[in-house]
Amino acid sequence: MASNPQLHLMTKLLNIEGMTVKSYQIIKNIGITIYLNNNNKKAICPDCGQKTDKLHQNHYYVVRDLPFGEQKVYLQVNRRQMRCEGCPKKFSEDLEFVKKTRTYTERLKKKILSELLASDLKNVAQRNGVSEQEIETMLKEWGKELTGQKPSGLKRLGIDEIALVKGQKNYCVVLVDLDKKIIVGMVKNRTQVEIKKYLEAWGEEVLEQIEEVSIDMWKPYKNVSEALMPQA
């Protein structure tokens, strides 16, 4: 059994807000399983907005997290089902680090999507032990989350594409903040019209601040950059 100092160290290394490590297990040829405790005693009802600490039942399940060295890491999560005192309705609590019905954490999703910038869907799936369908779901989720959002402090923009199916010219266009090394936009269709439309939605206040655009030699990228960001 792990000592309290070990569990405290594991909690700090894991670095998930509101969660503490209650135990962990190293399984040969599988990885590390970490069992979590939720420090937040109350959850917010999605219907009326009231906080409640009335537990209806526990719901434990396992999700993938970022690897530790060469070891895969699995988290046992308890997404509690609560009973609201105001409505009164039953609901499953929201956890910021893992979305409902997902078998991976949000930070693992971001790591996998960043790897796609230098590879293709099939190889990234094999390397991370997830299915191609899961990565496609990640892309759709990430695209929806970015829709309507405007990047802040964007100075150096990268326009690149992700190969969904290698060798079949099936691409998803990604817009990258080169300084922060994060994806700030995603365009489903690799056409000049769609890319231009997406960037225009950011507004002049964002586009006028861009000092540099990094692209490959595909002409539509150049045309869009010169039309919307002539100062870059």
pLDDT digits (tens, 9 = 90+) for 207-221: 999 999 999 888 999
Number of helices and strands in the chain (H, E): 7, 13
- The band of 169, judged by pLDDT with boundaries at 50, 70 and 90, is low
Residue carrying structure tokens 């999700």? 63
Model confidence band, residue 92 (pLDDT cutoffs 50, 70, 90) = very high
Residues 104-109: what's their mean pLDDT? 94
Q: What average pLDDT is seen over the chain? A: 90
Tell me phi and psi for residue 139, to 5 degrees. Answer: -60, -45
With 90 as the cut, is the pLDDT of residue 85 above it? Answer: no
Q: Please name every residue paired with 24 in a beta bridge, in sequence order, or none if there are none.
A: 34
Residue 129: predicted pLDDT: 83
Q: Which of 102, 88, 93 is nearest to 41 (CA)?
A: 93
Q: What is the pTM (predicted TM-score) of this model? A: 0.79
156 or 88: which carries more pLDDT confidence?
156
The Cα 45–Cα 53 span in angstroms is: 10
The per-residue pLDDT for 188 is 83
Is residue 148 pLDDT above 90, yes or no?
no
Give 108's contacts (C-beta < 8 A, 6+ positions apart): 64, 65, 66, 128
The pLDDT confidence band at residue 142, using thresholds 50, 70 and 90, is confident
Are the beta carbons of 176 and 131 closer than 8 angstroms? no
Answer yes or no: is pLDDT of 1 > 90: no
Res. 195: pLDDT tops 90? yes
pLDDT of residue 165: 62
Radius of gyration of the chain (CA): 21
* Confidence band of 164 (pLDDT split at 50, 70, 90): low
Instruction: Check pLDDT > 70 for residue 20.
Output: yes
pLDDT score for 204: 95
Amino acid in position 44: I
The pLDDT confidence band at residue 70, using thresholds 50, 70 and 90, is: confident
